[in-house]
């Protein structure tokens, strides 16, 4: 959520952000009109409330003094209450309209975010690492995994539906090794590891900015809770409604959790293999920092750098992209995607995403901190995918396959696996 004063003073900037993010810019004019009506009516409401309180106080003083309340005061009090009762429903309705519209206003992209309509506008910043040079035709990950009996999609689809899968034996162990290694890297960097709720209330989804825009892409329970598509939701909402102290910032937390996505709009995409699925596991990192964009951008680069370190440690080739306005979330101010090389497809595929929001999420979640000068400010928030499986698992398997149909275990994961090769 943006500051309403900022929206009032920079309406054209916010409208441009809407257009560049493929959202309706007419929402801004609607908001400003509702805001003006709300503020005008608020003056009247506060005037009547003050007048009513003052009148009641005078009557109370007369009664306590042993006298009878003045008839004119009583009549005036009734009149004011009637006037207040007549306009309060309208004011309440305007308040609800105002909040609804405020929640539909996107964040303004950073100045160096590329402007583009969709993924075609993304810019490659750098490409790192050597692609494997095979003297045989590399198999797609799922074919190799099924031959080694470490993946079963046929039974999974029969039992759980499209895009379901079982990881078996060394497939499961390799995934766990990857997730544990990723979390260990974060712990070494000062992140506190956490398990998180994967069923959350609507307030957490709205607060993190996944609602209202992404409501259709999430599963819901019969009790009205939502299954999260990332641990970011629970981690970012952890301090919802609280006031922190500047001395405790930055706060670095990391979660590992199952994630659930309906994959709306992905019909026909990546139907083979386990690159696009409804349920997966992920290590996610979140940082709360001070209200300073320069400091936030340092953290943004650092967090993306930790994902790069993971890929480098795994010996995988990857590229870092600056995401354009049309291919980033409504709440994101700047976003990097990291794509890892998939030999069987001969292309880089997204495996990581790092974003910062400034106070967009913290305003919605009401997370503030008391600065050293005593003032209250909203924290700035960031998040980053450290490791998502089975997509990362698929990348490892494709890059580490051998002509004999086995899979070499990356050196850094061998202590977790207890073996060098999957046969």
* Whether 103 contacts 27, CB under 8 Å: no
- Answer whether residue 256 is part of any domain: yes
Over range 332-354, report the average pLDDT. Answer: 97
> What three-state secondary structure class fits 163?
coil
Comparing 123-137, 259-273, 325-339, which segment has the lowest mean pLDDT? 259-273
Q: Which string of DSSP letters, residue by residue, matches 234-271? A: HHHTTTTT-EEEGGG-SEEEEEEEEEE---TT-TTSS-
Q: Are residues 93 and 127 in the same domain?
A: no
CATH number of the domain that 27 lies in? 1.10.287.40
pLDDT at 53: 78
pLDDT at 65: 67
The catalytic site residues sit at 261, 276, 350, 353, 391
Give the containing element (helix H, strand E) for 277: none
Strand intervals (E) in 163-216: 166-167, 192-195, 199-200
Cα first-last separation, the chain: 52
Domain residues for the domain of 73 are 4-102
Give CA–CA dist 400/421, Å, rounded.
Answer: 9
- Answer whether residue 77 is part of any domain: yes
Strand intervals (E) in 311-346: 318-322, 334-342
Count of CA atoms in the C-beta half-sphere (13 A) of 160: 12
* Whether 367 contacts 377, CB under 8 Å: no
- Answer whether residue 113 is part of any domain: no
Confidence of residue 309 (pLDDT cuts 50, 70, 90): very high
pLDDT at 266: 67
Strand intervals (E) in 104-143: 123-128
- Answer whether residue 14 is part of any domain: yes
pLDDT in tens, 98-119: 999 999 999 999 999 999 999 9
* Whether 413 contacts 387, CB under 8 Å: no
Give CA–CA dist 150/170, Å, rounded.
Answer: 6
pTM greater than 0.85: yes
* Whether 290 contacts 245, CB under 8 Å: no
pLDDT at 267: 67
Q: Are residues 74 and 159 in the same domain?
A: no
Q: Are residues 59 and 171 in the same domain?
A: no
Confidence of residue 382 (pLDDT cuts 50, 70, 90): very high
* Whether 318 contacts 338, CB under 8 Å: yes
Average confidence score pLDDT of the chain: 94
- Answer whether residue 110 is part of any domain: no
Over range 214-239, report the average pLDDT. Answer: 96
Give CA–CA dist 34/378, Å, rounded.
Answer: 25
Burial class (CB in 10 A: 0-12, 13-18, 19+), 188: exposed
Q: Are residues 130 and 90 in the same domain?
A: no
CB atoms within 10 A of CB 205: 22
Residue ending a domain, among 102, 127, 162, is 102
Residue ending a domain, among 45, 72, 102, is 102
Report residue 36 as tokens.
Answer: 């003006």
- Answer whether residue 108 is part of any domain: no
- Answer whether residue 114 is part of any domain: no
Phi and psi for 235 in degrees, rounded to 5?
-70, -45
Number of domains within the chain? 2
Q: Are residues 180 and 72 in the same domain?
A: no
pLDDT at 273: 87
Q: Are residues 98 and 234 in the same domain?
A: no
> What three-state secondary structure class fits 300?
helix
Burial class (CB in 10 A: 0-12, 13-18, 19+), 159: exposed
Spatial CA neighbour of 381 closest among 256, 295, 323: 295
Give the containing element (helix H, strand E) for 18: helix 11-20
Q: Are residues 75 and 134 in the same domain?
A: no
Q: Are residues 89 and 236 in the same domain?
A: no
Q: Are residues 48 and 127 in the same domain?
A: no
Over range 335-363, report the average pLDDT. Answer: 98
Spatial CA neighbour of 359 closest among 293, 285, 284, 301: 293
Strand-pair partners of 288: 251, 381
Q: Are residues 142 and 18 in the same domain?
A: no
pLDDT in tens, 165-219: 999 999 999 999 999 999 999 999 999 999 999 999 999 999 999 999 989 999 9
Q: Are residues 278 and 190 in the same domain?
A: yes
pLDDT in tens, 233-291: 999 999 999 999 999 999 999 999 999 999 877 666 777 889 999 999 999 999 999 99
> What three-state secondary structure class fits 1?
coil
Residue ending a domain, among 75, 102, 129, is 102
- Answer whether residue 285 is part of any domain: yes
CATH number of the domain that 207 lies in? 3.30.930.10
Strand-pair partners of 284: 255, 385
Phi and psi for 66 in degrees, rounded to 5?
90, 0
pLDDT at 84: 78
Q: Are residues 357 and 265 in the same domain?
A: yes
Angle of helix 11-20 versus helix 26-64 axis, rounded to 10: 130
Residue with tokens 């939701």: 233
């Amino acid at each position: 959520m943006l500051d309403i004063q900022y929206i009032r003073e920079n309406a054209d900037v916010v409208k441009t952000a809407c257009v560049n993010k493929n959202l309706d810019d007419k929402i801004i004019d609607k908001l400003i009109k509702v805001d003006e009506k709300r503020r005008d009516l608020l003056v009247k409401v506060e005037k009547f409330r003050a007048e009513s309180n003052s009148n009641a106080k005078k009557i109370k003083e007369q009664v306590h003094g042993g006298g009878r309340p003045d008839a004119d005061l009583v009549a005036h009090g009734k009149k004011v209450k009637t006037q207040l009762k007549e306009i309060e429903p309208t004011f309440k309705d305007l308040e609800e309209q105002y909040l609804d519209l405020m929640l539909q206003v996107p964040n303004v992209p950073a100045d160096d975010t590329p402007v583009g309509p969709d993924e075609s506008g993304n810019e490659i910043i750098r490409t790192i690492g050597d692609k494997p040079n095979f003297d045989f035709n590399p198999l797609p990950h799922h074919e190799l995994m099924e031959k080694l009996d470490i993946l079963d999609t046929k039974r999974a689809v029969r039992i759980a539906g499209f895009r379901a899968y079982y990881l078996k034996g060394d497939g499961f162990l390799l995934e766990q090794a990857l997730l544990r290694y990723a979390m260990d890297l974060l712990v070494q960097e000062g992140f506190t590891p956490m398990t998180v709720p994967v069923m959350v209330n609507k307030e957490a989804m709205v607060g993190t900015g996944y609602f209202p825009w992404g409501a259709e892409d999430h599963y819901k329970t019969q009790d009205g809770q939502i299954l999260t598509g990332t641990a970011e939701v629970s981690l970012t909402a952890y301090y919802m409604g609280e006031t922190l102290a500047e001395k405790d910032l930055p706060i670095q937390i990391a979660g590992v959790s199952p994630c659930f996505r309906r994959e709306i709009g992905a019909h026909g995409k990546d139907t083979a293999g386990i690159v696009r699925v409804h349920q997966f596991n992920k290590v996610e990192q979140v940082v709360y920092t001070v209200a300073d964009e320069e400091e936030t951008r340092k953290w943004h680069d650092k967090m993306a750098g930790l994902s790069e370190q993971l890929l480098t440690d795994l010996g995988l080739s990857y590229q870092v992209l600056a995401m354009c306005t049309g291919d980033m979330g409504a709440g994101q101010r700047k976003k990097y995607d990291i794509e890892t090389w998939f030999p069987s497809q001969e292309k880089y595929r997204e495996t990581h995403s790092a974003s910062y929001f400034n106070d967009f999420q913290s305003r919605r979640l009401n997370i503030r901190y008391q600065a050293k000068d005593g003032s209250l400010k909203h924290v700035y928030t960031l998040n980053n995918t450290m490791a998502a499986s089975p997509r990362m698992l698929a990348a490892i398997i494709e890059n580490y396959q051998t002509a004999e149909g086995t899979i070499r275990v990356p050196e850094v994961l061998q202590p977790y696996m207890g073996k060098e090769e999957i046969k």
